[in-house]
Amino acid sequence: MDNRQALGYMLLACQRLGYSKEQARELFGEMDYLFDIYTEEEAEEKGFRWYHSLEDDR
């Protein structure tokens, strides 16, 4: 999957969740930036580490 395809999935998720255009634009910009600073492996590791840490915050 390339970055544009991943952004397409993200935009579809925004649509399904009822995000406003501004919210979708903000998320789009952040994801586009993150594609440039993290490798795919780094993004996977760091993203899931953060996600799983949310369970520890309960």
**Mind listing the pLDDT tens digit for each residue in 9-41?**
999 999 999 999 999 999 999 999 999 999 999
Sequence-distant (≥ 6) Cβ neighbours of residue 48 within 8 angstroms: none
**Pair 34, 43: CB distance under 8 Å:** yes
**Pair 31, 38: CB distance under 8 Å:** no
User: What is the Rg, in whole angstroms, of the alpha carbon atoms belonging to the chain?
Assistant: 13
Residue, of 57 and 43, whose pLDDT is higher: 43
Q: How confident is the model at residue 58 (pLDDT cuts 50, 70, 90)?
A: low
pTM for the structure as a whole: 0.82
Delimit the domains of the chain by residue range: 3-56
Q: How confident is the model at residue 55 (pLDDT cuts 50, 70, 90)?
A: confident
